[in-house]
Amino acid sequence: MRKISTGPPSPAVRLSLWGFLSIAAAHGQVARNAHGWFQYFGDHPIRKDSRWGLHLEGQWRRHNLVRSGQNLLLRPAVNFKINETWAVSAGYAFVETYRYGRYPVARTAQENRVYEELRVRHDAGKVKVLHRFRLEHRWLPGGLFEDRFRYLLRGTIPLKGRNSLILANEVFTPTPPEAFPKAADNNRVMVLWGRTLNPFWRVETGYMLQTVWQRNGRIREDNHTLLLSLWSTRPLR
């Protein structure tokens, strides 16, 4: 019989739990929305054996599943694979946020970001674990600028055939000038089903609870979200 560890959770698990509980415990008006996010994630090596590559990402985020806009996100980056465990990226993101829900933003808003990222991969038994650390530098409407740290913990559990179960949590921690909340202002919990189509293509779909504090500090959004994602690792040449 295999012995199950009863020690304390790892720092990564504690960080994810801290983000989720920090938001869940905060009080405010709650707006519940139903969203649909349709996404493409491409990590394309320059050549099959190259350590350098391009990240190409687009997300079409919809309110009321598909009826109206929530966000448009475009995120290109340069990737460098250090080894099978470590990889880094640096890139740019453009985000356009539309008016949606019971407490919409005053007008359509655009944001520009530059970011750096570190990814660490390892196995925990049969589970493939990803830790993603991202630091974003954000140019916001109204002449505001801020940095934000993001941490993603993701586990992929193989199922029968080419299928898998993915469990993930991502926490967002802003720094001043955003004064509220003092800890995390965005958390995403995901439960997904994945299927590998061939060596270069993969599809994932499932549910995400996105919990967001609006910048006014009074409104909390609980966004129940359908995710549909296409992933590619096809080399550019």
Domain with 84, as residue range(s), is: 31-232
Instruction: Give the model confidence (pLDDT) of 90-106 as tens digits.
Output: 999 999 999 988 878 88
β-pairing, 109-124 vs 144-158, is unpaired
Residue 4 lies in a domain: no
Say how many C-beta atoms besides its own lie within 10 A of residue 152's C-beta.
Answer: 20
CATH of the domain at 212: 2.40.160.40
Q: Is residue 9 over pLDDT 80? A: no
HSE toward the beta carbon, residue 85, CA cutoff 13 A: 2
Whether residue 6 lies inside any domain: the answer is no
CB atoms < 10 A from the CB of 121, how many?
A: 16
DSSP letter assigned to residue 45: E
pLDDT tens, position by position, 102-148: 878 888 999 999 999 999 999 999 999 999 999 999 998 888 888 99
Reported pTM: 0.86
Tokens describing residue 10:
């790892």
The amino acid that residue 76 corresponds to is P
Paired residues of 202 in beta bridges: 196, 231
Considering only residues 55 and 3, tell me which one the structure prediction assigns the higher pLDDT: 55
Residue 171 within a domain = yes
Whether 34 and 65 have beta carbons less than 8 Å apart is answered as yes
Does any domain span residue 82? yes
Q: Is 176 contained in some domain?
A: yes
Q: Which CA distances in Å does 186 have to 21, 126, 146, 206, 221?
A: 11, 30, 15, 19, 9
Within a domain: 52:
yes
Greater confidence, 184 or 163? 163
Structural domain contains residue 19 = no
Say how many domains are in the chain: 1
Residue from 23, 78, 46, 43 nearest 209 by CA: 23
Question: How many of the other CB atoms lie within 10 Å of CB of 14?
Answer: 11
pLDDT for 23-52, tens place per residue? 555 566 888 999 999 999 999 999 999 999
Q: Is residue 200 part of a domain?
A: yes
